[in-house]
Structure 1
């Protein structure tokens, strides 16, 4: 394969991936395979199905998947991902990986065994929801006889899944790791998010060297992972960062004929 595209997890910050995809569309750059975690898996699946980037942005706004207003207090997590199943089903022609125009690899974490799992065939929607099921916030997703949570717990930037399979790899990484002031932590969720970010960044940053190009928009640290009011701003940050990154590679990636 010529080009692999990897989309990291990051909750609402993953909207920056959509801005990146819009630039790829405009430049005629098409990946041969995508790998995604959490919000990156969600965006990858919709894009691989054939949605235009602006349609994906509208979908995220309409579903409110990054909102904490949808509660499921009777489950071990606040937000019940099953509430989103029908909305996803209405967007795909069938609940199966085979309906996608471009192959994708979706990561999730098996809550019972503690092992990372990669989904690439069969049932499509629940693996996507599982990949984005942030522990303690989203209820675990049952697939088969097991339960799964966010793929970012063990693999938030799945570059390894396409390494050796593609001549070139573009990584879109939306979890900038910077020092924080204690005053930034205003509630328990912000502490949980920070702890999660610390764990994920240790492995993710080491994978940058395996990418031909890494797009990591600046300015994302001010947005928390459950943020609905700034989606257009996050989208624009991803768009602008991708334009700047590609300036160094004007002829470096396969383009549509």
Structure 2
């Protein structure tokens, strides 16, 4: 098929990232012929085909845990993250007494926002990936193959994690579709689509980006952890909505960058001034320093933000030097005996830079335990190349 299709992966509350992507698709004028979803991706597929964008935003931004799960006793959660330790006793009691968690409120929420009639009348074909149990065989189903009135059943089946209300359709039992295919790219390919956009919510990229034929795949995936899959803390939801928007603009070359978003001309300027490896290291440093990922940077304000963070943490590092027993740790490095390092990431980065500077001054290669420093080495190398002032930019 010549058109374009969209594959939406599972990921629970992180699914709002896909709504941010939808916002970018609208701005870019990108239209799809089909959308297939797994788990929360199935929910969003239903929204894209059977609800307005504004209604989808309204549902997600106002989401509460009591709209997803019902508890046998009236009691309040202690955290918006269901799996937080603060909710452990409540969950344990519910599973002990009821043997499962009731998803009745989620079904009612989806029935309120997703019109099956609108989905069936939509020019956008809607598909849902489910998993049959006990065989654990993938069972993809398209709207035209569902009996009337079964759409919400299949979406609930696609999102049915162990411990939640069982879902039975025509005598068959189902589990979360992610057990069969986390991002349903093959579901689209089997129907003939070869131009596919895939949105993966996993912290680590899945096999969805690996295709072995002439498929043109645009793969959207954030390089940082989007948070817990049952964490509906409002600030986390707003962050992931924005990241989905920015990452999609990057996937279509309207913005650039790996961990951060840059205007294309400014990113080209950074590459010209520093080279890709150093820019990638600076982005890694920005992540360690918890630089704001929700804004779009130009080349000057990004470097200035990194430079200021570096100065602030270097000052903190010097102030805490004695308390952190830095000299003791340096001696352990010199002897090759450092096994553990209890430093917050920005201070660990400052410590590594001191080691590298000392090694350069003494023309020696320091013995660095890979387990302690390999994940931040490129950030340290890049920061050491960064000018103290902006006069050279």
- Answer whether contact 1:95 1:125 (CA < 8 A) is retained: no
Q: Which residue does 1:23 correspond to in 2? A: 24
Q: Which residue does 1:128 correspond to in 2? A: 155
Q: Which residue does 2:55 correspond to in 1? A: 55
Relative to structure 2, which stretch is displaced further, 60-69 or 116-125?
A: 60-69
Q: Give distance in 1, aligned partners of 2:65 and 2:142.
A: 22
Q: How does 1:1-257 map to 2 (within 5 A)?
A: 1=1, 2-52=3-53, 54-64=54-64, 70-71=70-71, 73=94, 76-78=99-101, 80-94=102-116, 98-121=120-143, 122=146, 123-136=150-163, 138-163=164-189, 165-177=192-204, 201=206, 203-204=207-208, 206-207=210-211, 210-219=215-224, 221-229=225-233, 230-247=236-253
Relative to structure 2, which stretch is displaced further, 19-28 or 61-70?
A: 61-70
Q: Give distance in 2, aligned partners of 1:86 and 1:177.
A: 32
- Answer whether contact 1:67 1:227 (CA < 8 A) is retained: no
Q: Give distance in 1, aligned partners of 2:210 and 2:66.
A: 28
Q: Give distance in 1, aligned partners of 2:33 and 2:203.
A: 26
Q: Give distance in 2, aligned partners of 1:5 and 1:172.
A: 8
Q: How many residues align?
A: 222
Give unmatched runs, 5+ long, in structure 2.
73-93, 256-393
What SS does the aligned partner of 1:58 have? Answer: helix
Q: Give distance in 1, aligned partners of 2:111 and 2:211.
A: 33
Q: Deviations over 1:122-172 (max 9, x none)?
A: 210011111112223x22212121221210011111100112622411111
Give unmatched runs, 5+ long, in structure 1.
179-200, 250-257
Q: Deviations over 1:109-131 (max 9, x none)?
A: 11233221112132100111111
Q: Give distance in 2, aligned partners of 1:97 and 1:120.
A: 11
Higher relative contact order (CA 8 A, sep 6+): 1
Q: 1:236 to 1:109 in 2, by over 3 A?
A: same
What SS does the aligned partner of 2:222 have? Answer: coil
Is the radius of gyration larger for structure 1 or structure 2?
A: 2
- Answer whether contact 2:10 2:182 (CA < 8 A) is retained: yes
Q: Deviations over 1:195-236 (max 9, x none)?
A: xxxxxx4x44545985521010232x1501001111111111
TM, length-normalised to structure 1: 0.76
Indicate the RMSD between aligned Cα atoms, in angstroms.
2.8
Relative to structure 2, which stretch is displaced further, 209-218 or 37-46?
A: 209-218
Q: 1:96 to 1:25 in 2, by over 3 A?
A: closer
Q: Deviations over 1:41-72 (max 9, x none)?
A: 101111111421x4313213445369876336
User: Where is the helix percentage greater, Structure 1 or Structure 2?
Assistant: 2
Q: Give distance in 2, aligned partners of 1:109 and 1:66.
A: 26
Deviation at 1:96, TM superposition (A): 8.4
Q: Give distance in 2, aligned partners of 1:67 and 1:87.
A: 7
- Answer whether contact 1:7 1:157 (CA < 8 A) is retained: yes
Q: Give distance in 2, aligned partners of 1:88 and 1:177.
A: 29
